[in-house]
Amino acid sequence: MFSSLRQSTDIIENIRKNSFEPAHADYYKGKPGRPLNLILKARHDFLSVWRKADYADRVNVTKIFGRQIVVVNSPDAIRYVVAKRHENFERKTPQMRRALEFLLGDGLFISDGETWKQRRPLVNDIVHKNRLPTFGKIMEKTASELVERWSAMPDGAPVNALFEMAGLTAEIIARSVFGNDLGEEAANAVTEGFESYQSLIDSINIGYFLGFDEGLPVLRTPKLRRSVSRIHQIIDKVVEDHLAGHGDDNSMVELLVRRQKRNPELKLDVVALRNEAATIFMAGHETTAATLTWAWYLLSRAHWVEKSLHEEIARVCGNRVPALDDIPQLEWCRAIIEETLRLYPPVPILARQAKEADRIGDIDIKPASLVLIVPWTLHRTEAFFKDANLFKPERFLNGQKPIPYSYIPFASGPRVCPGLQFGLNEAILCLAILAQRFKVRVAENAKVEPQCRLTLRPRGGLPVTLHRREGI
């Protein structure tokens, strides 16, 4: 019925000598005042609804079917929303809560108020950077296993980089969250369950725009129920084993269980423990997988950057496998990951629902308004990043830092990603370990199109070929 309104996305990609403008949607040029058109376009692709004027230092307000929508693309105003008035803007949108509540219950990612306040320090503790040496070993081991698997394939073997990276980061987070006791079959079942869940939920809750402040519940189809029950059963079994004293000592679940035993007033029952474990599992693997996938795409097209990366890995690590302790010396690796997170922030939209009336800049905010901070537009705003659409990792070298609150791939303020250090170090380390042995190539004529679902990924994944590095 709506096929005439469905619009495809025009993608821009330019490669010249030593300059690369990686794939991004063209500016939206639709006629103003057609909300249904815009919603349908956003459903297909949330990144293609932004006009040229949205990539500017400003706060903009609009209305869709009477719902006030405020887009905050200015560092000072972002600081106001995420830090100063965090309590008024901490609430996730009905779209996000409805989409994830079946799977994550009251897990941290979608909770607010007292539940969030009580649980956040727990999650902070268990993914804290002090625990990085333990997790670093898991990262090194898992990435080295992937090198082995790739080495067993013929040179030039075709794979889908997104699936390869999702497998890698899911394995790392599964070993970190659940310990070694999940087992390959159950780990695969959980990963597939999450994958299928994502593809089954919609990216827009139409009910919210039609006036329901809490949105409309997501239809729980038999397929969706099956995905969720498979994930829940497996995680519950792990949690119950830990509660009975049979869990892996170093895992995140074990830390949660011990915390509960020490502080029974936290009332973390099996379901609450499952919700937090599932949240960390979900939040902790999709994002890093997307980052690594985009990094391969960027390196595959910008050989001059890849060359600097290879030289650095050889200089710092010689022929041994890169390790967590090398990271401070791996400056190009870090800059490449930081630039990848700028161009392709895995969470490209931070959406909040205002609790009470407020004022952002000179705009009056109504209760239950939709407040959007869009790292996708923010990170591509010329006022904050020169040559904003070009891939230039150099901008992060030699201690250079973006303007505060203009670069927020991990969000900011009290709700900043608790896995920031975990995710950043994981991405840098996995890139170094894999790039030491392999070049990853995207076909010259491949059409790469960014797609925003829960995370920002290439539509259909990223078909690539794997090439052993000569002399290594």
The residues that touch ligand HEM, with contacts defined as CB under 6 A, are: 108-109, 120, 123, 127, 279-280, 283-284, 287-288, 291, 341, 346-347, 350, 409-411, 415, 417-419, 422-423, 427
Report in angstroms how near the CB of residue 374 gets to ligand HEM at its nearest: 11
Report in angstroms how near the CB of residue 284 gets to ligand HEM at its nearest: 3
Give the H/E segment covering residue 20: strand 19-25
Alpha helices in 344-379 (DSSP H): 375-378
**C-alpha separations of 285 from 108, 172, 380 in Å:** 16, 8, 25
Q: Which is nearer to ligand HEM, 108 or 255 (CB)?
A: 108
Report in angstroms how near the CB of residue 166 gets to ligand HEM at its nearest: 13
Report in angstroms how near the CB of residue 83 gets to ligand HEM at its nearest: 13
Phi, psi of 182 (to 5 degrees): -75, -40
Q: Which is nearer to ligand HEM, 358 or 441 (CB)?
A: 358
Q: Which is nearer to ligand HEM, 75 or 284 (CB)?
A: 284
- Pairwise CA distance, residues 99 & 104, whole Å: 10
Q: Which is nearer to ligand HEM, 85 or 441 (CB)?
A: 85
Report in angstroms how near the CB of residue 236 gets to ligand HEM at its nearest: 19
Q: Which is nearer to ligand HEM, 287 or 465 (CB)?
A: 287
How many other C-beta atoms lie within 10 A of the C-beta of residue 179?
A: 20
Q: Which is nearer to ligand HEM, 68 or 111 (CB)?
A: 111
Using Cβ positions, the residue closest to ligand HEM within the complex turns out to be: 419
Q: Which is nearer to ligand HEM, 285 or 441 (CB)?
A: 285
Report in angstroms how near the CB of residue 157 gets to ligand HEM at its nearest: 26
DSSP 46-108: GGG---GGGSSS-EEEEEETTEEEEEE--HHHHHIIIIITHHHH-PBPHHHHHHHHHHHTT-G
182 and 444 Cβ atoms separated by less than 8 Å: no
Report in angstroms how near the CB of residue 416 gets to ligand HEM at its nearest: 7
CA neighbor of 355 nearest in space, from 374, 371, 339: 371
